[in-house]
């Protein structure tokens, strides 16, 4: 969740500005507060602020802090409220040790109680501050590196920690949460985010489980928790097209990323045949195939179960990543787990993969970020190739997953080219949604919806997951309560929520669910609901119609986009930030 950036290198007259610039590219990971610490003349200069990195930038406008060592942090609060005292970096009693952290120290209360007995003074309510005092205590009898390593061994939970001292030494250690190193000349950079470092250098070292990095002005060494040995890091060359990260004339990243989706679909249609065919063979050879993911990726996984049933006539199983370990007893060596994650760092998804690995099962990853943890622990990877996502709401990665699942489904039948043809039709259909008149229509509808308390969305079959995803987008961005339902479940309780004027979105594809979902729409209308139809044809039950083209079994790819745009326009009308919704972060790296 939280964003980490650290620097060790040449003396910079304004190291504080470098830290702030890099943190501003990490604040999608958390924007409750931000802070930096720069080692200046053997003393750490620490600056913190509640809110986004831009708030801290404003606070430091005109101030330059020079130094050769510095760390910074953007926070998504877990322990302790959103306040300046709880913002990172945290320091020990002496002020000579500073720490930034991503994760949760599950046993921090026990550790803190012991440290208080030894006379340590705490200034925050966070679990993170415990680590600074642990290192201080261990340093009384050990060198800095050993003190940090032994302190980290005492922590329970999944954590990434970067700690520096006033001698200019920096150590990063990880268990679970991501941490990577980049080197460019004499400068060393450490971060929770691979794309951020690829903006600086292509020489990347990915820190593995229970490993870390030791840096001073002259040395860069890898370390492990279980050994005193140090070694030279083996760098990978990782390049990410940074042009795709810029807004390119769009006011917000969310809108830009929605508009990029036709090209994402075409990329998958044009570049994946060998990998798709290999994946289809893996599924055919498996004794039980399981999909797992979280959030938006989970809705793509659920949609995949319908695609595999309808297209490939193949049964597959789905579970949320957070729930999958409770199903792991079904797994055997011949099982296949397909895990999907935009970042490849979603903790619950990684835990599901680890559960599969405990049983010797094969794992296939669908991931967007090269070098991610998910890629490294999987047997095979299909890249989404959606380009970087900066908006917290995932859009184009969702479309990429749907596109891959569609191609795999058709490849199971030996009809890869049919799947490609459908994707190309879908890409063309999406482009038509972005015409000026269609956008005007969506804006008019969004204005009608912006003051509503509830929006309900129904779908059936392939488009039941589309209803869930559409609702998620609306509530994530606009904070309107939106809920997606299987159309047939209305009369089993849900319809009690509907009253006169309640907006209900009905997703109607030209498939075998059409008559049933239209009947459900009529049931809603008879209770006073206002029916908004998303469909290739306009039906009498609709009060408002958003036309989409009929693309057969690829309908979930096309049908979600009007609701993505609806979520965006409602959010803008409410004067909210669609790129950074409250309480959310892009990469969910805690359980």
Domains of the chain: 3-239 (3.60.20.10), 247-434 (3.40.50.10490), 435-579 (3.40.50.10490)
DSSP code of residue 209: T
Nearest to 344 by CA among 315, 314, 381: 381
Predicted confidence (pLDDT) at residue 446 exceeds the cutoff of 80: yes
pLDDT in the model for residue 241:
62
Burial 178-196 (b: 16+ CB within 10 A, else e): bbbbbbeeebbbbbbbbbb
Mean pLDDT of 184-211: 90
pLDDT in the model for residue 136:
97
Cβ atoms 145, 228 nearer than 8 A: no
pLDDT in the model for residue 303:
97
Predicted confidence (pLDDT) at residue 589 exceeds the cutoff of 70: no
Confidence band, pLDDT 50/70/90 cuts, at residue 227: confident
Nearest to 391 by CA among 244, 292, 268: 244
Mean pLDDT of 39-64: 94
Predicted confidence (pLDDT) at residue 93 exceeds the cutoff of 60: yes
pLDDT in the model for residue 518:
97
pLDDT in the model for residue 244:
57
pLDDT in the model for residue 177:
83
pLDDT digits (tens, 9 = 90+) for 494-545: 899 999 999 999 999 999 999 999 999 999 999 999 999 999 999 999 999 9
The 3-state DSSP composition of the chain as helix, strand, coil percent (nearest 5) reads 40, 25, 35
More confident residue, 370 or 447: 447
| Cα 283 → chain centroid | 26
Q: How far apart are the first and last CA of the chain?
A: 10
Mean pLDDT of 111-126: 96
Mean pLDDT of 461-471: 98
Beta strands in 379-447 (DSSP E): 380-383
pLDDT in the model for residue 76:
87
Question: Among all residues, which ones are annotated catalytic?
Answer: 2, 586
Question: In this structure, what token pair is assigned to residue 267?
Answer: 């990329």
Percent above pLDDT 90 for the chain: 84
Element (H, E) at 408: helix 396-412
Nearest to 102 by CA among 186, 207, 13, 14: 207
Confidence band, pLDDT 50/70/90 cuts, at residue 245: low
Confidence band, pLDDT 50/70/90 cuts, at residue 482: very high
For 433, 441, 449, 469, 541, the CA distances from 436, given in Å and listed in that order, are 9, 9, 20, 25, 26
Beta strand pairing call for 211-215 and 289-293: unpaired
pLDDT digits (tens, 9 = 90+) for 564-578: 999 999 999 999 999
Predicted confidence (pLDDT) at residue 38 exceeds the cutoff of 80: yes
Mean pLDDT of 279-289: 95
pLDDT in the model for residue 243:
52
pLDDT in the model for residue 113:
96
Share the mean pLDDT of the chain: 94
HSE-up (13 A, CA, CB side) for residue 407: 29
Beta strand pairing call for 503-507 and 454-459: parallel
More confident residue, 272 or 312: 312
Q: How far is it, in rounded angstroms, from Cα 66 to Cα 106?
A: 36
Predicted confidence (pLDDT) at residue 8 exceeds the cutoff of 70: yes
Confidence band, pLDDT 50/70/90 cuts, at residue 488: very high
């Amino acid at each position: 969740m939280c964003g980490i950036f650290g620097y060790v290198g040449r003396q910079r007259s304004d190291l504080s500005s470098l830290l702030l610039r890099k943190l501003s590219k990490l604040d999608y990971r958390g924007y409750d507060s931000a802070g930096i610490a720069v080692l200046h003349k053997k003393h750490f200069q620490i600056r913190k602020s509640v809110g986004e990195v831009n708030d801290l930038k404003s606070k430091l406008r005109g101030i330059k802090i020079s130094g050769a060592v510095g760390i910074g942090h953007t926070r998504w609060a877990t322990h302790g409220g959103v306040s300046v005292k709880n913002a990172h970096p945290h320091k020990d009693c002496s002020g000579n040790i500073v720490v930034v952290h991503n994760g949760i120290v599950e046993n921090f209360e026990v550790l803190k109680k012991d440290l208080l007995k030894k006379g340590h003074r705490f200034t925050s309510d966070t679990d993170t501050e415990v680590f600074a005092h642990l290192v201080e205590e261990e340093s009384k009898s050990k060198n800095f590196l050993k003190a940090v390593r032994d302190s980290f061994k005492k922590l329970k939970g999944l954590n990434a920690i970067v700690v520096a001292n006033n001698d200019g030494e920096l150590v990063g250690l990880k268990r679970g949460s991501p941490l990577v190193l980049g080197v460019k000349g004499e400068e060393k950079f450490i971060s929770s985010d691979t794309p951020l470092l690829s903006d600086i250098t292509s020489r990347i070292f990915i820190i593995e489980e229970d490993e870390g990095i030791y840096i001073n002005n002259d040395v860069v060494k890898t370390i492990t928790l279980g050994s005193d040995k140090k070694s030279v890091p083996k760098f990978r060359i990782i390049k990410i097209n940074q042009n795709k990260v810029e807004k390119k004339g769009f006011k917000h990243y969310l809108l830009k990323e929605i508009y990029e989706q036709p090209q994402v679909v075409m990329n998958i249609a044009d570049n994946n045949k060998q990998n798709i065919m290999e994946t289809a063979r893996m599924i055919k050879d498996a004794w039980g195939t399981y999909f797992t993911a979280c959030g938006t990726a989970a809705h793509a996984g659920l949609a995949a179960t319908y695609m595999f049933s309808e297209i490939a006539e193949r049964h597959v199983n789905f579970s949320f990543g957070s729930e999958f370990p409770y199903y792991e007893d079904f797994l055997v060596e011949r099982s296949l787990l397909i895990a999907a994650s935009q970042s490849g760092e979603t903790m619950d998804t990684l835990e599901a993969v680890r559960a599969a690995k405990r049983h010797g099962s094969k794992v296939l990853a669908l991931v967007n970020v090269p070098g991610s943890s998910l890629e490294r622990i999987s047997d095979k990877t299909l890249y989404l190739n959606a380009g970087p996502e900066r908006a917290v709401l995932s859009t184009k990665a969702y479309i990429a997953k749907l596109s891959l699942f569609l191609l795999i489904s058709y490849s199971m039948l030996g009809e890869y080219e049919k799947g490609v043809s459908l994707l190309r039709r879908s890409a063309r259909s999406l482009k038509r949604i972005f015409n000026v008149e269609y956008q005007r229509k969506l804006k008019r509808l969004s204005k009608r919806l912006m003051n509503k308390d509830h929006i309900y969305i129904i779908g059936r079959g392939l488009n039941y997951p589309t209803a869930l995803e559409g609702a998620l987008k609306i509530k994530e961005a606009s904070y309107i309560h939106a809920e997606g339902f299987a159309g047939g479940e209305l009369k089993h309780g849900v319809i009690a929520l509907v009253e006169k004027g309640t907006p209900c979105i009905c997703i109607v594809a030209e498939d075998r669910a059409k008559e049933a979902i239209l009947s459900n729409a009529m049931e809603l209308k008879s209770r006073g609901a206002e029916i908004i139809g998303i469909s290739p044809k306009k039906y009498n039950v609709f009060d408002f119609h958003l036309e989409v083209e009929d693309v057969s079994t690829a309908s979930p790819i096309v049908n979600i986009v009007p609701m993505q745009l609806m979520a965006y326009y409602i959010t803008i009308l409410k004067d909210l930030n669609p790129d950074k919704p409250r309480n959310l972060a892009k990469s969910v790296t805690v359980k």
